[in-house]
Amino acid sequence: MHFTELPIRGAWTIDPSPHADHRGRFFRAWCTNEFTALGIDFVPLQANIGTSRAAGTLRGLHYQAAPHDEAKLVRCTRGAVFDVLVDLRQGSPTFGRWAGAELSAENARMLFVPRGCATGYQTLVDDSDIYYMTSAVYEPSAVRGLKFDDPSVGIEWPLPPTAISEQDSRWPSLQDHLSPLEAAR
């Protein structure tokens, strides 16, 4: 695996080192030894799958409040998405900043989202699926979000949103947002 640190502390893109032959390709999607060697504390406790029908579909920006905060390892298993994270860790030097990466079934790239960051994605093509593992189980009472088009964050989504849930369109902006997350880790 090839790890590339993003400008948000603790966030990484991870590109596989595939073995390819006439049958196709094989690669590791997660390895505790490689994560630990880089000081990344991530033990998956839950895995989730998201499917979206149309290009431009936007999901997020989501996170869970402490003590249910979670790290995520996201990959696209069909199609292509633009996955984004926003640092919500109070006291972090990158608080309020975002980073993003194109994840596709073809490039097999993954995005590691550290605890204390909101995340969301936009589909770049029709019929896109994501698969992600989390370091905490889903806790409905801890679900929070950040407005996807908050001008103070300034995320540059690649496409105009074509579909977004009512809940995701009503999350507060960063200025109105009092993060219940723990201080920067």
Q: What is the spatial distance between Cα 182 and Cα 34, in angstroms, rounded to a whole number?
A: 26
- Burial pattern 73-100, b for ≥16 Cβ within 10 A else e, equals bbbbbebbbbbbbbbbbeebebbbbbbb
Q: What is the spatial distance between Cα 9 and Cα 106, in angstroms, rounded to a whole number?
A: 27
Q: What is the spatial distance between Cα 146 and Cα 174, in angstroms, rounded to a whole number?
A: 7
Say whether 63 is catalytic: no
Say whether 138 is catalytic: no
Catalytic residue among 63, 121, 132, 177: 132
How close are the terminal C-alpha atoms of the chain, in Å?
25
Catalytic residue among 22, 62, 63, 138: 62
Report helix, strand or coil for 141. Answer: helix
Q: What residues are annotated to the active site? A: 62, 132
